[in-house]
């Protein structure tokens, strides 16, 4: 079955116009997200380029060959900016390189009037842009758990098509109207372009949506004042740490913190200074905790940490934190912390450890505050680590 080039060209023009409108609405609906903004600009520029390519049938040369290809390369540049912004990179000016090079080459008649040379240069520039897109996408790997591989596959297919076109498109002039490159290979160029712009448009929207979901999910797990994990996040991560301890037969420890007489700090110095004390405590504690520990704010002046550690090591760590807090005085405001710890050797259960550490914390506060107390237990020695009852 033969495919009519002109019909495909009309389809591509309609698809690009529709996708441009969809992307513009998505851009405005997303509070003018820069990634969607650059993608919208890219689609509009490619739409103009495709329209200009059809003017060759009217006997025009500069609009399709010169301006049309410049707009196409500017569209690729806008896509590169979209991927760079998504990856947190600066846009710079390199995205203009392809369009400027094409404009320069069009000054030479040997290039301007040679279809095979234009096809080769166009393919090479597209390959460079796509390679840059793949590189920028790779920098966003950690932020994309679902859409990374579809986006990567789509870009690699598009890159491979342009590599194959260098060898398969001989630059034979097509007598049919509407051929983008003016060659008999145009039908395949149009088909691949339609599939690519559709796939890329919805992939980019999916990438932005996934990033937004991850952002909101992360925000829901963080304490807005201190920036540490909140209570919900601690319980989620505790399940994973529990599983690790069971797998490796490692001890699991819970540390509970309560800032001493925090209400009096708010009453005496004001809530702004009280917030600074909370932030300072988090910074001091996070600096002392090991990298694999989870630290969170439970609410108010209460905090918790969970880590894989034996009872003696947890006690020593807690004492170091207590002394560091005692030495810290943000804006010359002295404060202290009471700490309760509990450690389980085998089959650790986070909920039980929280109860045990809370009992130890209550005892630390009852015995004068600004001290570390460990949970003592009558459980079997292979289940719960404990310290002798202090009098």
CA dihedral (70, 72, 73, 77) positive or negative:
positive
d(CA 17, CA 299): 52
pLDDT in the model for residue 348? 77
pLDDT in the model for residue 283? 95
- 198-232 residue pLDDT tens: 999 999 999 999 998 888 888 888 999 999 999 99
d(CA 131, CA 75): 15
Rounded to two decimals, the pTM is: 0.75
Please report the domains of the chain, with CATH numbers, ordered by start residue. 5-220 (1.20.1070), 229-385 (3.30.70.270)
Q: Which two tokens stand for residue 215?
A: 């952002």
pLDDT in the model for residue 341? 95
pLDDT in the model for residue 178? 43
d(CA 365, CA 252): 23
pLDDT in the model for residue 381? 39
- 332-387 residue pLDDT tens: 999 999 999 999 887 778 889 999 999 999 999 999 999 999 986 544 434 455 44
Comparing 79-83, 113-117, 186-190, 339-343, the range with the smallest average pLDDT is 186-190
Per cent of the chain over pLDDT 90 is 70
d(CA 63, CA 49): 9
- 55-95 residue pLDDT tens: 876 667 888 899 999 999 999 999 999 999 999 999 999 99
Secondary structure (H, E, C), the chain: CCCCHHHHHHHHHHHHHHHHHHHHHHHHHCCCCHHHHHHHHHHHHHHHHHHHHHHHHHCCCHHHHHHHHHHHHHHHHHHHHHHHHHCCCCCCCHHHHHHHHHHHHCCCHHHHCCHHHHHHHHHHHHHHHHHHHHHHHHCCHHHCCCCHHHHHHHHHHHHHHHHHHHHHCCCCECCCCCCCCCECCHHHHHHHHHHHHHHHHHHHHHHHHHHHHHHHHHHHCECCCCCCEEHHHHHHHHHHHHHHHHHHCCCEEEEEEEECCHHHHHHHHCHHHHHHHHHHHHHHHHHHCCCCCEEEEEECCEEEEEEECCHHHHHHHHHHHHHHHHHCCHHHCCCCEEEEEEEECCCCCHHHHHHHHHHHHHHHHHCCCCCEEECCCCCCCCCEECCCCCC
């Amino acid at each position: 079955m033969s495919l009519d080039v002109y019909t495909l060209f009309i389809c591509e023009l309609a698809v690009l116009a529709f996708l441009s409108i969809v992307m513009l609405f998505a851009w405005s609906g997303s509070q003018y997200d820069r990634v969607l903004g650059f993608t919208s600009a890219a689609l509009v520029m490619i739409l103009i380029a495709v329209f200009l390519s059809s003017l060759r049938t009217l006997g025009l040369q500069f609009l399709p060959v010169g301006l049309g290809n410049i707009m196409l390369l500017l569209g690729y540049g806008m896509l590169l900016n979209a991927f760079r912004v998504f990856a947190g990179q600066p846009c710079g000016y390199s995205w203009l390189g392809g369009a400027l090079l094409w404009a320069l080459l069009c000054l030479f008649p040997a290039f301007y009037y040679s279809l095979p040379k234009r096809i080769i240069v166009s393919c090479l520039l597209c390959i460079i842009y796509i390679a840059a897109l793949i590189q920028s996408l790779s920098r966003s790997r950690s932020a994309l758990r679902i859409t990374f591989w579809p986006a990567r596959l789509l870009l690699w297919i598009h890159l491979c098509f342009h590599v194959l076109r260098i060898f398969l498109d001989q630059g034979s002039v097509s007598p049919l109207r509407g051929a983008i490159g003016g060659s008999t290979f145009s039908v395949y160029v149009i088909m691949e372009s339609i599939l690519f712009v559709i796939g890329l448009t919805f992939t980019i929207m999916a990438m932005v949506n996934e990033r937004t979901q991850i952002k909101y999910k992360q925000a829901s797990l963080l304490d807005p004042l201190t920036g540490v994990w909140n209570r919900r996040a601690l319980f989620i991560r505790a399940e994973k740490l529990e599983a690790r301890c069971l797998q490796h037969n490692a001890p699991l420890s819970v540390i509970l913190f309560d800032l001493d007489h925090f209400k009096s700090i708010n009453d005496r110095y004001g809530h702004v200074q009280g917030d600074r004390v909370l932030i300072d405590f988090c910074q001091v504690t996070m600096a002392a905790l090991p990298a694999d520990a989870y630290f969170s704010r439970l609410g108010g002046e209460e905090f918790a940490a969970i880590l894989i550690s034996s009872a003696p090591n947890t006690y020593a760590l807690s004492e170091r934190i207590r002394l560091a807090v005692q030495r810290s005085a943000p804006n010359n405001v002295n404060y202290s912390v009471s700490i309760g710890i509990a450690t389980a050797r085998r089959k650790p259960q986070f909920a039980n450890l929280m109860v045990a550490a809370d009992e130890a914390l209550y005892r630390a506060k009852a015995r004068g505050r600004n001290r570390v107390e460990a949970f003592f237990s009558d459980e079997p020695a292979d289940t719960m680590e404990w310290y002798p009852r202090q009098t």
